[in-house]
Amino acid sequence: MSQIVSFKASVNCHSLCVEDWPHLPQNVSMDQDDKNGGPNYLRAWREFHHMTQAELAAKVGTNANMIGYLEDGQRALSLKWLRRLAPALKTRPLFLGEIDPRKADSLTMELAMAVTDDDRPQVNTILETFVKKNGTNG
Domain ranges in the chain are: 2-30, 36-101, 105-138
Q: Does residue 127 carry a pLDDT above 60?
A: yes
Q: What is the CATH number of domain 36-101?
A: 1.10.260.40
From the list 19, 55, 43, 41, the residue with the least C-alpha distance to 99 is 41
In 10 A of CB 83, how many CB atoms?
A: 11
pLDDT tens sequence across 16-42? 433 443 443 444 444 445 556 678 999
The pTM assigned to this predicted structure is: 0.59
Cα–Cα distance for residue pair 11/7, rounded to 1 Å: 8
Q: Does residue 117 carry a pLDDT above 80?
A: no
The answer to whether 86 and 93 are in contact (CB under 8 A) is yes
Alpha-carbon distances, residue 37 vs 44, 78, 106, 122 (angstroms): 16, 8, 27, 33
